[in-house]
Chains A and B, each alone.
Chain A
Amino acid sequence: MSERTLRGKVAIVGVGETTYYKHSMSPDPEFVLAIKAILAACDDAGVDPTEIDSFASYANDRNDPSRISAALGCRELRVSNMQWGGGGGGASAAVGNAAAAIMSGQADIAVVYRALAQGQFQRFGRAAGAGTVSGDNALAHPYGIFVPAQRYALKIMRFMHEHGVRQEALRAIAMASYHHAQSNPRAIMYRRPLTEQMYDDSRWIAEPNHLFDCCQENDGAAALVLVSAERAKDFRHKPAYLLASAQGSDHRNAARGFNAPDFASSSFGPVAPHLWNMAKLAPQDVDVLQSYENFTGGVLMSMVEHGFFTGEEANDFCRLENFLTTGKLPLNTSGGNLAECYMHGLELQIEAVRQLRGQSTAQVAGAKVAGVIAGPMVTPVSTMVLGTEETL
């Protein structure tokens, strides 16, 4: 039996985004943002938008592929794929799902997209009003535990306890994102540097999460164009080949009432090994890493569960200098969710492509392998590795 793999079969040939806005500040409705990002990605690739035949998204994106396809005048609609699960855990999975559709002959030109206009719709970080609550939420909301910053604080606190991780390790992850945003004019936090003192003095949201450990909430949209590897060189830029994609979560992750056996984790325990197996690479082969910051503790646990370092090594490894473009593991080089834009993580997939093209505003010299970890601590989570042609 031939090996079942996505390695090298599909490439990302176009990336695009709208202007990124503070939450609720988009002048455009969410659907318009989605369309603008897709057109920007088509323009970047040199693809006629009417040739898009397939769409993949995640997190219950509200913009239906059928409507997008009709609005853009696409000649036909083939695959419409939605990755289950809330949060940004599906961002790399959406790329993997689109790639699987292409590889299996169900799609030719696929777009992965995500759009958010939180003024038009509800915000993530704020709880709804009174009334009643039942099921799993009845075991949390009456105790004042509503939002991800609180729920995931419980995971991070336990992980830090088990491995002796100090607050400074989380701080370094926040500092890395803000540092890189200072060279990225697209970033919401461009020209708004963060100092260690500012981090230390910032208010707690839910311990161990300071304000600067928590992602922004933003308006905007982002999109990527995928085609089969055979066609990848017909487009405007150097292709970024998908070397591996993996999604899922650990054993009984969604056990109710905070009873997941491996609760103090980023959910990548069994997922990351699938990634490295498909990529035929190891963590030390990664030149640059984009790792979804919902909360800095999630980034730290993700890196541990992907094998970049152990929990016990976290205090030593998580220093700003290691995360810079010249460091051991350049991290979140566009500014990420914390400081570029919380585009539900899809700005990270775009940044990985730009790194492999040599177009980043914080370029890692000669980057050939780029990792993108999506939405730690939720379920399902997802992760992927991209590479340049020489990695095939």
Chain B
Amino acid sequence: MTYLPKGLPEPVTEADQLDKPYWDGTRAGKLMVQRCKSCHGFQWGPEWICHSCRSWDLEWVEVKGRGKIWTWTRCWHPVHPALKERGPYIAVLVELPEAGNIRMLGNLLGDAAQSVTIGAEVEAVFEPHDDAATPYTLVQWRTV
């Protein structure tokens, strides 16, 4: 059971493979992000160079799937044909204090009518889509 219905675009690794470790990580239930080996800053989304110190030496590290809701929206208008029967759904942008306050977008699991509080603590939930042409896993969030 997935939060949003089937028929939405399916994520695949970029042609240049920049984000492959992230998508591979989600399949294994791991949240992988970039960290600079030179200045040790976290970086998200993926980029070829460290924006802080211009080092090319970036590594992928696993971070804890814990964070706080930084902002959110409840979407009502079905902008995609696959969402026509879905009704409202919530997207949250989650800040990860243990990973340099990088932010990640996902859906907030549970009742779409729930009240959402900026600052509320959330944890990552890995949502596999095993029957996709190229199986993938999304990172969703639920309040703790």
Report if A and B associate in a common complex. yes
Whether B71 and A135, one on each chain, are in contact in the complex, defined by CB atoms closer than 8 angstroms, is no
What separation, in Å, do the CA atoms of A193 and B88 have in the docked complex? 29
State whether A264 and B71 are in contact (beta carbons under 8 Å apart), knowing that A143-B107, A144-B4, A256-B46 are contacts in the complex.
Answer: yes
The number of chain B residues with a CB under 8 A from chain A is 44
Interface residues on A, range: 35 or more
Contact A147 B79 (CB under 8 A): yes
Q: For residue B44, which residues in chain A have a CB less than 8 angstroms away from its CB?
A: 256-257, 259
Please, which residues of chain B bring their CB within 8 A of the CB of A259?
44-45, 102-103
8 Å CB interface, A46-72 against B? none
Is B106 touching A257 in the complex (CB atoms < 8 A)?
no
B38-50 vs A, CB cutoff 8 Å, 1 = contact: the mask equals 0000001111000
Cα separation A140 to B138 with both chains bound (whole Å): 11
Determine whether the beta carbon of B105 is less than 8 Å from that of A139: yes
B93 touches A133 (CB 8 A): no
Chain B residues, Cβ within 8 Å of A125? 79
The reply on A130 being an interface residue by CB < 8 A is: yes
Q: When the two chains form their complex, are residues A154 and B91 in contact, meaning their CB atoms are under 8 A apart?
A: yes
CB < 8 Å: which of B4, B73, B81 contacts A207?
A: B73
**A132/B51 contact (C-beta < 8 A), A143-B138, A154-B72, A206-B73 known:** no
Report the separation of the CA atoms of residues A257 and B134 in the bound assembly, to the nearest whole angstrom: 22
| Shortest Cβ distance from residue B36 to the other chain A in the assembled complex, whole angstroms | 14
Complex Cα gap A256–B79 (Å): 22
Min C-beta distance of B113 to chain A, whole Å: 12
| A204 part of interface (Cβ distance < 8 Å) | yes
Flag if A140 contacts B105 (CB, 8 Å): yes
- Residue in chain B with minimal CB distance to A203: B76
Closest residue on chain A to residue B11 by CB atoms: A138
Q: Which residues of A contact B120 (CB under 8 A)?
A: none
* A133 with B75, Cβ < 8 A, contacts A139-B45, A143-B105, A255-B51 known: no
Contact call B45/A130, Cβ cutoff below 8 A: no
Residues of B within 8 A of A136 (CB): 45
**Residues 113-156 of A contacting B (Cβ, < 8 Å):** 125-147, 149-150, 153-155
A235 close to chain B: CB less than 8 A: no
Of A125, A126, A144, most B-chain CB atoms within 10 Å: A144
B residues with a Cβ closer than 8 A to A are 4, 7-15, 19, 44-47, 51, 70-77, 79-83, 88-89, 91, 93, 102-107, 118, 133-134, 136, 138
A-B contact pairs, 27 of them (CB 8 A): A127-B80, A129-B81, A130-B8, A132-B9, A132-B11, A132-B134, A139-B105, A145-B73, A147-B79, A150-B73, A157-B71, A158-B93, A203-B77, A204-B74, A204-B76, A204-B88, A205-B77, A206-B73, A206-B74, A206-B77, A256-B46, A257-B105, A258-B93, A259-B44, A259-B102, A263-B93, A264-B71
